[in-house]
Chains A and B, each alone.
Chain A
């Protein structure tokens, strides 16, 4: 912790009648008479008072500070005439320009008619010391935090006094006055709970005088005592004073200026031509930290200014830049046309890259200007060699050779788990903070989340299973959700009963995909895993699990299908692998046929080349292409093993048909057309009348 003096600044403003005097810098305010034709005499120029100039300069100082440091840098105003006037407090709601401006307006300029002998800046200086002893909110917080810092805290601050002094000895007297005030107030503060003794005070005394008057003061800085350092400056009033304070603020807050050069801008008078302008921006000097240069003697060259060239933005593509720092900026001259053009351009969401001016060599883009939420920042970009150059590619490491990651699904997952800022709530414990909700949501949603396509069935058939997978991970399920989940489950049951094919990806070597019953078995067990993983969330979740278990049971209890399963289990991990006989193979084919949809059946009978079903057992046809549908065909003997009776029969029919003619299209679509096979089976299923002539 550094407890910098810049935390607290007190401006002491001379409000004595002397400051009502003109600064003697005339302002021609009536310059618009030329267009009014002859006969109009311009009004006489006016001039600002010393007070007005001082206020303008101080407000500019504050504008810069509040633009660059929205928090943590506090400024107070004390006006001094026959007594001191405190214009604001350390409280956050009084630390802004509108509040200060209003207090200043209410105070008004000094009263010329007041007796100047009764006015003194000493009242203000004494008050300034007094208010420095008052804790700021932050200081109070640290002091009472009962942490290590609370005992180490230092109360440092600055007093910037703008006044008019008579001589160097007058300055000396004021310094001593401040020193005495600090000593006394520190004694007071030591015995008080609410006040803090001052550990260090920097006194900036700025002597100001009207134009044409010579300064009687020597500029100086010296250490008065261990708690007081003094900086004496002098400046003519008018805009010179504003310039002086603009320099002081840079010293006080470690600021630097970047000049953006070559900003193309339409000319005010002639919109068709454009000229290049420069804009000066103030910011913390750390924004220049990676650009320190070294002169011949090896000394660091920390010049305050840096010039960077504007690069006209080409596109609006957003890239993640490697950025080493970001600092708020504010224009030196906020109302000038080039400044407001630049700031408006940035506030409208554009980014501007800044390049180092170099006569030779490649262009080096070292900074970026951009706005975030109405604040403009300068981002420092990494321009030197990175220690991470030439890294190994992620595909070379662990898991790099896996090709069927569910990239798109995880992309959706990420989108669903995007975060958004919540309204600031009063200090909540970190355990209750919104970000914990995100973590618990992530926890729920990843309880069963297969990373690769080949490891999941459920997530490959989301169109059938939805909305169950997205609902089940919710923290609370209402009745409608449970109904929806059950609907999904019943839909799956329906699919299984109908014998619909599952969109299962190809696994392992060709022809070794599991049979449909096996797929359903796997699908059910995966679904169970998914639902079970969330079943402890609420009783409603348990209901869904019960539903899955209920629906799953019958298919397993079905003796016929379970027998089939044993027989045809193609997976190697099944211990008892019964080699299927030819008859059994035929039965399987029959069984499969039974499970087909109408369309598939037609295709099957037709020998539609778009469908694998026909190729499946034909010794002449090439191996089925590796696509999802392939596994539907169940196992296939590589060595062209025993063919099913059905296949033989169909082959024969097909070869006959193909020799004779192309199948009449109408026949296929005729209800009860020639392509009906095993009509009795169909009638068992849906009870439709049996007719057809293609029975075996």
Chain B
């Protein structure tokens, strides 16, 4: 989840703290920088694959460091911060929106960490002004809600009494609510100072950027793993249920499937599966540990190797009624990795696999589902009904559709008695469709047409052709009184017997 740290650099951030006994004098901006450094350090240690950007705003906006994994660069960026004029959040939010959309996609979840002293500004562009002028007014409307899923974490660098004074809590909460993507307002506990601000940021870091550790197991084969990025909880409203799930730390393999059978199913998120050791590596012999780690066999590596070689995936259970797929994935040609793709929670989230809970080992079947010589596959699972495009649908909304179907009947009619079966098949298809939509005029029309065909038969024609055409004409005219399921059958003649 990419993070954008948006720092308020309006003049009010330069306000000094009330002096403490003998301590150094700090400005709010110093506190903010200190807090952000804490956050960045935490991310760098625990979730170093996360992207973070640093931006500042006053009445203007500037992207100091674009999205990067280089946390030193971000910290260096912090050192450059200066203080400018007044707060104008709307511009900043607008820019956040375009920056994120430019860099990522509208479906990439992001996090906005807004660091401010809670002074909402005055006049156009202030919080209050924006909220009081809802969409549709002449003023430019609020750039939130963002078109991408985005949590907003508001980090208030102010004391609790100040927050009350300025209603910073209420306004910030309103901002989060309008965006609708979740998030929280954070305020330092206790007196405003380096320590309380650091604590506040650390709390945010631990709640949001905590690494995800778990185990991947396949029977007795096990590996300790980290998922990067850490999977988010899943919360989605369906038509008849609200699904709330979290990924279980025990990820269990429950079978294997060929890549060609799984057919690129849609995933809601993807996570690198990184094998880790359970040993707490102390700083001292970290390097030695790494060497040792490299030499101890890991199930993850074995699994990855085999999945890659065999072009297969593993189906894993990641929680109650929730599954994922493990596969070998390569960003570049050289570096491949084990990837976990989470599919929508639910038993039937990949319709062509059927229900996950109905997947069985090959030994449960009388005949091998993949064939003894591995030449067939039990997938995909076919739905009971055929879709309209997979069957011979009749749609006469346009005249061309109707004309084509009539032509089919005529074409077979002219080849009677050879094409008797095909003729009656087409005729019945047409008859049925006409009865369904109550198009009785057509039945009469086609009957007339067949009558004419009969008169146009050449002298060399087989006598049966005339008999069948007359029969079909008569039956077609009678069909209105008959049930739709009652098909017209060929006339039994001596000739037909002969043909048989």
Contact = CB atoms under 8 A, between A and B. Distances in A.
A16 interface: no
Interface string B260-282: 10111111001010111100000
A442 B255 CA distance: 8
| Interface SS of chain A | mixed
Contacts of A105: 432, 435-436, 484
Contacts of A97: 388
B337 interface: yes
A95 B448 CA distance: 36
B2 A398 contact: no
Contacts of A379: 264, 266
Interface in B245-303: 252-260, 262-267, 270, 272, 274-277, 293-303
B71 to A, nearest CB: 15
Contact of B389 (A47, A334, A380, A420): A334
Interface stretch (B158-166, B180-188, B205-213, B378-386): B378-386
Interface in B379-403: 379-383, 385-390, 393-403
Contacts of B439: 48-49, 52
Contact of B449 (A43, A55, A392, A402): A43
B435 A36 contact: no
Interface string B456-500: 100000000000000000000000100111000000000000000
B396 A56 contact: yes
B103 interface: yes
B294 A29 contact: no
Interface string A323-337: 111101011011110
Nearest to B260: A318
Interface stretch (B57-65, B116-124, B359-367): B359-367
A578 to B, nearest CB: 32
Given A40-B452, A387-B51, A149 B436 contact: no
A67 B399 contact: no
B236 to A, nearest CB: 10
A415 B293 contact: no
A340 B389 contact: yes
Nearest to B321: A430
A324 B341 CA distance: 10
Contact of A438 (B104, B255, B399, B400): B255
A36 B239 CA distance: 58
Contacts of B364: 422, 434, 437
B359 A422 contact: yes
A414 B256 contact: yes
A641 interface: no
A319 B332 CA distance: 15
Interface string B399-431: 111111011001000000000000000000000
Contacts of B266: 323-326, 379-380
B382 A373 contact: yes
A430 B263 CA distance: 26
A290 B106 contact: yes
A334 B395 contact: yes
Contact of B219 (A104, A294, A444): A444
A157 to B, nearest CB: 13
A318 B259 contact: yes
A410 B304 CA distance: 10
B275 A397 contact: yes
B336 interface: yes
A372 B441 CA distance: 40
Interface string B47-59: 0011100000000
Interface in A375-422: 375-376, 379-380, 382-395, 397-402, 405-408, 410-411, 413-422
B306 A43 contact: no
A70 B383 contact: yes
A372 B351 contact: yes
Given A420-B378, A441-B363, A394 B310 contact: no
A420 B362 contact: yes
Q: Give the interface centre of B275, B294, B394, B456 by most chain A CB atoms within 10 Å.
A: B294
| Interface SS of chain B | mixed
B178 interface: no
B24 interface: no
A610 interface: no
B360 A435 contact: yes
Contact of A67 (B313, B315, B352, B389): B389
Interface stretch (A1-9, A164-172, A354-362): A1-9
B361 A242 contact: no
Contact of A411 (B272, B299, B309, B314): B309
A328 B327 CA distance: 25
A391 B361 contact: no
Interface string B214-225: 000011110100
Contacts of B42: none
B410 to A, nearest CB: 6
A57 B395 CA distance: 10
B229 interface: yes
A96 interface: yes
A31 B331 CA distance: 59
B108 interface: yes
Nearest to B315: A419
Given A60-B397, A391-B49, A399-B298, A421 B378 contact: yes
A260 interface: no
A108 interface: yes
A1 B241 contact: yes
Contact of B383 (A28, A335, A373, A451): A373
A374 interface: yes
Contact of B386 (A3, A374, A435): A374
Among all A-B residue pairs, the 3 with the closest Cβ atoms: A399-B298, A109-B438, A446-B219
